[in-house]
Amino acid sequence: MPDELGRRERKKLLTRQALVNAAVRLFTEQGYDQTSVADIAEAADVSKRTFFLHFPTKEDVLLADGDSRTDLAVRAIEGRRPDAPMREVLTEATKNMIAHTAAGDLPNGLAALRARLVVTTPAVQARVLHTMFTAQTRIAAALHKAYPDKLTEITAAGVVGALMGAISAAAVTSLQLGEPPERTRAAMQQAAEIALHHAETLDTPNSTEHAAP
């Protein structure tokens, strides 16, 4: 049974990868709006039903690695050393997410294509915002659990929202300016440092007034 489950999981991953590869190729060759779910499914040699088993929408193909980025941040928080300052933990989580976003091993230039479509296609922008909200909720919950004496659920949400909002805004602005990937990464990191300044103040003894009684 374990071998059978392993084969099923590998087949599932291969199908998902085939869908991403097909989508990226078609989006690049014929345009995002001109490519349908049926086109992607046909190019990957699967049915539309199979497509929807893997991705809720066409936009989600571009965000295939979104859960992985969020997992990296959550693991950085959950795996912190007991006395780690909040800013240090958030800095590590942020670096991991930015590095993964810019990773050159994403399938078929997915990161570059996604970056271009985020600033040109409203449907992609909307889906990215939805995905970012879901990620923020997960990360904020992990942060509150890690620092319950310093953060309420509301302040944890505020810290994570400010951090991810700053990174996202800097990335979009850099892309709109036509800057190269290394400049975009630097802009994201600089924005993170600005947002993390407040997290440092919450590490002080007086910050306990923000926490729940």
Name the DSSP class of 31: -
Per-residue CA distances from 177 to 20, 115, 117, 129, 182 (Å)? 27, 12, 14, 20, 13
46 within some domain? yes
Round the average pLDDT of the chain to a whole number and report it: 85
Domain that holds residue 123: 66-210
With a cut of 50, say whether residue 212 has pLDDT above it: no
Higher pLDDT, 101 or 108: 101
Range of 41-55, 56-70, 186-200 with top mean pLDDT: 41-55
Q: Are residues 92 and 187 in the same domain?
A: yes
For residue 153, give both structure tokens. Answer: 């659920």
**How far is Cα 25 from Cα 45, in angstroms, rounded to an integer?**
14
Element (H, E) at 88: helix 86-101
- Span 169-185, mean pLDDT? 84
Q: Can you give the pTM of this predicted structure? A: 0.79
- Span 24-39, mean pLDDT? 94
**How far is Cα 89 from Cα 83, in angstroms, rounded to an integer?**
10
CATH label of the domain that carries residue 29: 1.10.10.60
198 within some domain? yes
Angle between helices 86-101 and 181-201 (to 10 degrees): 160
CATH label of the domain that carries residue 79: 1.10.357.10
73 within some domain? yes
Residues 6+ apart with CB under 8 A from 59: 123, 124, 126, 127, 128
